[in-house]
Structure 1
Amino acid sequence: MGDAQCTIAVVGLGVLGLVTVKNLLEEGFDVTGFDREPFVGGLWHYTEDDRTSVLPTATIINISKERGCFTDFPFPEDTPSHCTAGHVQQYLESYIEHFKLAPHLRLSTSVKRVSRDNVANKWVVDIDGAGSEYFDKVIIATGINSSPHVPKLEGVEAFEGKCLHSRAFKRPEQFKGQKVVVVGLGNTGADTSVSLVGQADKVYLSHNHGAIIMPRTVNGGIPIDHTLTSRMTKIQSLLEYYLPSVYEMVFNAALKKIQNANFKLKPEWKVYPAPSLKHAVPIISDNLVANLESGAVQSVAGIKRVVGPHELELDDGTRLEGIDTIIWATGYRTSFSVLDPEVDPTRHTTPRWAAAKGSRGKPLPRLYQNVISLDHPDSLAFMGCGAFATGAFPLNDVASMALAQVWKGASPLPPRGEMERAVDRQHEFVCGVAESGSAVPGWVRQHEWMAWANAAAGTGVDEYLGWTLAGWKFWYRDREFCRLLVDGIYTPHLFRVFETGKRKTWEGARTEIERVNRAVAAARAARDKKAKAKTV
């Protein structure tokens, strides 16, 4: 168990912070979580303030509840597979209650600065209006959606309409009767555009690249991510690591095939050719295409400049007149402004990254496995700086489990030089992506990152579901359950099944995995029966 006298401050109590507090408490550390808001959940809690938040009913999760939950806490059975943001907020509040986290959370508490006191060998957490507190370790879990990224627009000072970032977009009815330009063809741009339909007089979706557009469900209502198994994920991640060009070709083609089977796209929308999946995640939307088809949303080129008080010139020379509002759905920059500059992991951003067009001016932190500080690996870490094509809930659950075992001493870190070389290799990879197109600073190769995280956390997944002696023994003893884990619904509960002596298992993992697979199979059978009856 962790040293109960070892105090840890977790800054930020969104999804990243909550699961980190829980997993470190579980290992015996004395943990305190801080958030400036009077609520938990971060962006999943709706707020009218100019801060990043979902829309409580309009925002629908893109990853099904079966695959997007925490590893040891499923969503309620009666929650829809693709539920609303309101459901997610209730889920997070239930998570706090179930694991009794409330006494360890300090809300309405703004951390102004985190710095190092080398004499005391402590971290100093300066709290607005309440002085300083000292901790042995600190985790920054403020997330990647803290600082809006707004591109420079020529002539914007002459625009007399309203300009806002998508995080300030709260109520579509506030734009009733207006002509609105939404900039950015991504999930946020798609959701914002569609939510304006029926309120704004005209909705333009402005973009300078294409996108893959995917439905949430296929084959009569099956969540699209239910077709992704543990076996398929393993094959995908191995291809990405060892044969990246083959991986890129195969999975781009697979996504395009699903898109074309569900939507008929028109050339004038300019949504194809789409960038490779390594440069842009697919748009998950059930109604964007229908609104493009009806003309309720009009696809236009990127904005070149402002040419009048309410007039814009686009990259293709077209002019849009009478524009009332520009909404920038252009993402965020990760900010570590709470940290003393001496320990800011972005202070030495590699020149190659800064020069790459696809970096778009965003910082690139130097972190071991995109989690652990190289300056103070034994006491400073970050959540939310690593990403690949999976849900944020299970990814950061596993990441914080791994960190807990590292700081417990159960999973020692390699020597400093080896960690530096690992970061150099990661930066070479992500810089290569940025030089050929847009790049997410935290993008990692799934196979490499999960191998580290599974080993450090002690999930046992690679041993018991791999070509090892333990794997063969598990298959021989429990073939049906092994089949469910490998070829059934790829639920995050998989990471809590096996006892390894490291992270805590969840005694309900097997039961929940079996229940989810039964429920999904029954739902599929019912849909098939209904479809067959219609054809008779």
Structure 2
Amino acid sequence: MSTVMRKKVCIVGAGPSGLVAAKALLHDGPAGAFDVTVFDGKTRIGGLWPSRKDDAAGLVHPLMVANQSKHTVQFSDLAWPDDAPDLPRAWQIGQYLDRYFQTYCREAKLMLGNRVEKAEPLVSSSESHADAGWRVRTRSTAGEVAEETFDYLIVASGFFGAPSIPQIDLEHADIPVIHSSQYRNLQGILGKTDGKAGKVLVVGGQMSGVEIAATIASHISSAMHSPGSSPIPSPENYSVHHLIQKPAWVFPLHISPKPTSSAPPFLPLDLGSYDLSKRPQPLTNSQGHITVETAKIVHSMYQTALGTDQSVFSQAVSVSTAETADPPYLAVSDNYMDFVRSGLISVSRGKLDTLAGHQATLSPSGTKIDDVAAVVLATGFKAFSSISFLPASVHETLSLCPSDLYNTVALAFHGTHHPSIPNLGFVGFYRSPYWGVMEMQARFLTALWTAGGPSSSSLPPSLKNALETDISIEQTLNLRTDPRASQFPMGDYPWLMQEFASALDLQLSAHLGKMPSLPPAGMEMSILTPARYPSRSLTEFQRAEVTKSLQQTEATVWAGLCSAKFVAKAVFRSLLGEWKLERELMSKLPSHPSGHFSGTAKFLLRAGTKDGREAEFDAPGEDGSDGLEYLYVEEGDFKAANGLTFRATRRYVWRYNEKSDKLSVWFVKTDDPKKADYLFHNVDFVVPMQDGEAEIGGKGWEATAGHLCIDDFYDVRYRFHFEAVNLRDWRLSYTVKGPKKDYMIDGVYSR
């Protein structure tokens, strides 16, 4: 009786790509078909994702908030814990991966602290080379070298291998220059300066550039407006100068599926973006080569979703009509645009040419930027270091182009393999690390190798057809010189999921129950998540996890569309900056004069403080973050009805609690106007009555609050009017009644 020899597989990398590859080989292929070993140079699993709040040594800060929700940042058959936030932090993602490993990858041989130095293909006597293996050499953290042979090799070492540093003349620079992945706090860069304040120059206008510019601006704002001593001297003398080559559409973390409503509901950005009901079926690829017509359509969609061409923030970030013919670029940040409007971030267009002393010179204009205190390069990552262990002959076969950060290698069927090297596979080696695609790539390689490789006669019909019609390599090579290449050239996420599912003969599962319907077509939403593409054979445990994941997503969608969930967050985000304030005071008692206040109200962003909520602060939430809050400062002139005019000011602290999804307002201490004292009121949003799809009267989002101050009761009413995702104006009214008070305040805030 003959036995089938188990095929040995070497996986390079123990991040999400490596773990899902191991899981697919161990559980999606024939039982016992593969013997899996996972190598990683780090001494922990997770790759980019740390699993501890204090692990700040990697490329991702542990407290960084993911720009995709937990519904997308997951694999199909492991749901997040019920109390996990919708937008997890990096260390929580690391813990999810640890749980995934413990659940599905324990049968793999895990070799942490062992870096793969070299992987050489073995010479095969076979004409097809399909049975050739790999000799893999590793080096441990202790310097021990080992060699082992494998039948298959999977590269899961990460597309974001090493920071990409542009060729810039830094010889005469007298200031710190770091990559965005190295930034942690203001002290880390400004603490190394010669004491001269000025601009933190952020170079790079895509995802990481927008994100790091906003992060640094928030740190400067916090240093200026927090109680106690500042982490750097004179923080008010610093600002961020952002250098971009073209404007990106900057989306907040929550958008609305009803952007034209005066009281728009909100959902996490990815849930709104991956609503399949909005796209004709079957899906066509919206990335790659972008025609002028396609570009204009997408630009128009982005402008509708944001409610602006971004000129309301600054002309420097606006997308002009002429620019809508160019392929659109997208970035994600809650605070970037309002920091631009406030002036804490200024924006220039061009490329950094040289640095000399404290001065930067831009090309091609030759414009000078003076008083530069530090430079942060948000210039992306090079993938080449992640495959440096492969020999030159393999690099040549893969058409390696180290200088192309988007299309580094040319791989078949959406970044999974090359037909000339059938025992080499890739998982997660592309610029958009959507976890569903990683899982599909792992399943694809498992199915391909189970069938005997790309030239095998045993390929299932769907897989055979997918390989025969695939043009991924040709497209990749063409995009290297295509001036109209998209931001994410490999393909858009829903389309990629569809293509892999078709090749693997997987079906998109239905939602568990009825989903909300949206105008104008009135179609039920169909939210794409990895759990919508479950494996064909599920264990009882897996089935329960898939069901739990779908339930979590559907509950989030219903809550976002039929309650006030996420509205407090949207309001809080959009308050940042300065508002014009006009307020009427109408008193029925002569002891309190009536009159009119005219002035400004500033919402100054800072890190969360514990004042007034010590018990809550000393037992922080599971995310390990103190959150953000505003110091509210209003200043202006009050003109009483009797003709007397005097200067008036008041301060509060506004807070948002992500766990409870609550907005609150706090009094400040009289002896320290930067410190919160005690709670004034919680802001409770009222779901608007609806007539069909339109709110009655278009009144916007209303909210109520109340506060008893000894014998005086404050009855508080809010009304917030949105322009898509941003507040256009809002109203705050108080009715105050007590033994010695009987007056009403009605204030209108506008930009």
TM-score normalised to structure 1 length = 0.82
Write the distance in 2 (CA, Å) between the matches of 1:60 and 1:424.
34
- After superposition, the C-alpha distances for 1:502-531 in whole angstroms (9 at most, x for unaligned) are xx9745424532453134313432218724
Matches within 5 A, 1:377-396: 377=422, 379-386=423-430, 392-396=434-438
| 1:56 alignment partner in structure 2 | 62
1:139-175 Cα offsets, whole Å, 9 max, x none, are 011111113222222x322212222222222333323
Deviation by residue 1:441-477 (Cα, 9 ceiling, x = unmatched): x52366874454113333223xx78xxxxxxxxx9xx
Question: Which residue number corresponds to residue 85 of structure 1?
Answer: 90
Summarize the alignment of residues 2-81 of structure 1 with structure 2, pairs less than 5 Å apart.
5-26=6-27, 27=29, 28=32, 29-45=34-50, 53-57=59-63, 59-81=64-86
Structure 2 counterpart of 1:460: 507
* Identical counterparts, % of pairs: 20
* CA deviation string 1:230-272 (max 9, x = no partner): 3335548327499964544322211122123596644442442
Residue of structure 2 in register with 1:470 after alignment: none
- Which is worse superposed, 331-340 or 366-375? 366-375
Aligned to 2:442: 400
The letter for the 2-side match of 1:516 is T
Q: Is the contact made by 2:437 and 2:496 (CA closer than 8 Å) also made in structure 1? A: no
SS at match of 2:21: helix
For residue 468 of structure 1, what is the aligned residue in structure 2? none
Go from structure 1 to structure 2 and tell me whether the alpha carbon gap of 1:512 and 1:208 turns closer, same or farther (over 3 Å shift): closer
- Is contact 1:360-1:438 (8 Å) kept? no
- Could you tell me which amino acid in structure 1 is paired with residue 429 of structure 2? C
Question: Any conservation in 2 of the 1:52–1:146 contact (CA below 8 Å)?
Answer: no
Q: Which has the higher helix share?
A: 1
User: In the aligned structure 1, how far is the partner of 2:180 from the partner of 2:534?
Assistant: 37
CA drift of 1:116 comes to: 0.9
8 Å contact kept, 1:386–1:444: no
Query: 2:136 aligns to what?
Result: 125
Note if 1:305 corresponds to 2:356. no
Cα deviation for residue 4 of structure 1 reads 6.5
C-alpha separation in 1, matches of 2:288 and 2:484 = 19
1:37, distance to aligned residue in structure 2 (A): 0.4
Deviation by residue 1:24-75 (Cα, 9 ceiling, x = unmatched): 1112421111100011111112899997521122x21111112332111122
Q: Does 1:293 align with 2:341?
A: yes
1:324-339 counterparts in 2 under 5 A? 324-335=373-384, 336-339=387-390
- 1:248-304 deviation line (CA, Å, top 9, x unaligned): 432221112212359664444244249679956411111001111122222123344
Aligned length: 506
Pairing of 1:64-463 with structure 2 (within 5 A): 64-101=69-106, 104-119=109-124, 121-128=132-139, 129-153=144-168, 155-176=169-190, 179-197=199-217, 198-199=219-220, 201-218=238-255, 219-227=264-272, 228-232=274-278, 235=281, 237-238=283-284, 240=286, 245=291, 247-260=294-307, 265-273=312-320, 279=327, 281-306=329-354, 308-315=356-363, 316-335=365-384, 336-344=387-395, 348=399, 359=404, 363-377=408-422, 379-386=423-430, 392-409=434-451, 411=459, 414=464, 418=468, 422-427=471-476, 430-431=479-480, 434-436=482-484, 443-444=490-491, 449-461=496-508
Cα separation, 1, equivalents of 2:449 and 2:326: 32
Matches of 1:486 and 1:140, distance apart in 2: 39
Distance (Å, rounded) in 2 between the aligned partners of 1:9 and 1:167: 29
Among candidates 540, 543, 550, match of residue 513 of structure 1: 550
CA distance in 2, matches of 1:386, 1:41: 17
Secondary structure of the corresponding residue to residue 88 of structure 1: helix
Greater RCO structure (CA 8 Å; 6+ sep): 1
Cα distance change of structure 1 residues 240 and 182 upon mapping to structure 2, 3 Å threshold: closer
Name the SS of the counterpart of 2:307 in structure 1.
Answer: helix
Q: Sort the Cα spacing of 1:4 and 1:373 in 2 relative to 1 into closer, same or farther, 3 A.
A: same
- Alpha-carbon spacing, 1:387–1:326, altered in 2? closer, same or farther (3 Å): closer
Task: Give the conservation status (yes or no) of the 8 Å contact 1:230–1:486.
Answer: no
Question: Given residue 186 of structure 2, which amino acid in structure 1 is its aligned partner?
Answer: P
SS in 2 for 1:64: coil
Q: CA deviation at 1:362?
A: 6.0
Q: 1:411 to 1:171 in 2, by over 3 A?
A: farther
For residue 347 of structure 1, report the CA deviation from its aligned partner.
5.3
Alpha carbons 1:404, 1:457 under 8 Å: kept: no
Q: 1:489 aligns with which of 522, 527, 545?
A: 527
Q: Secondary structure at the match of 1:30?
A: strand
* 1:530 matches 2:686: yes
Return closer, same or farther for 1:189/1:436 CA change in 2, 3 Å cut-off: same
> Which range moved further: 284-293 or 422-431?
422-431
The structure that has the greater radius of gyration is: 2
* Contact residue 229 and residue 486 of structure 1 kept, 8 A: no
Output one character per residue of 1:101-160: Cα deviation in whole Å (capped at 9) or x when no partner. 37532110111011111159320110112321111100011111113222222x322212
Amino acid at match of 2:135: V
What is the rounded CA distance, in whole Å, between the counterparts of 2:494 and 2:268 in structure 1? 24
Flag the 1:500–1:430 CA change in 2: closer, same or farther, 3 A: farther
Matched residue of 2:297: which SS? helix
1:365 is displaced (CA, Å) by 2.4
Alignment partners' CA distance in 2, 1:458 and 1:60: 35
Say if 1:349 and 1:138 are closer, same or farther in 2 by CA, change over 3 A. Answer: closer
Q: Structure 2 vs 1, CA of residues 135 and 305 (structure 1 numbering), >3 Å: closer, same or farther?
A: same
For structure 1, which runs of at least 5 residues remain unmatched after alignment? Answer: 466-474
Residues 230 and 147 of structure 1: CA distance in aligned 2, closer, same or farther (over 3 Å): same
8 Å CA contact 1:403–1:457 kept in 2: the answer is no
Deviation per residue, 1:354-409 (Å, 9 max, x gap): 8xxxx5796332434321122222x1111223466xx5211101111111111111
Contact 2:175 2:357 in 1 (8 A): yes
Question: Where does residue 595 of structure 2 map in the other structure?
Answer: none
Give the CA RMSD over aligned residues: 3.9
Structure 1 residues 451 and 384, CA gap change in structure 2 (3 angstroms): same
Taking the aligned partners of 1:276 and 1:380, their CA distance within structure 2 comes to 41
Give the aligned partner of residue 472 of structure 1. none
Give me the whole-angstrom Cα distance separating, in 2, the residues matched to 1:486 and 1:512. 19
Amino acid at match of 2:534: R
Moved more, 173-182 or 121-130: 173-182
Normalising by the residue count of structure 2, what TM-score does the alignment of the two structures yield? 0.60
In structure 2, C-alpha distance between the alignment counterparts of 1:124 and 1:243, rounded to whole Å? 39
1:531 to 1:447, Cα distance in 2 relative to 1, 3 A: closer
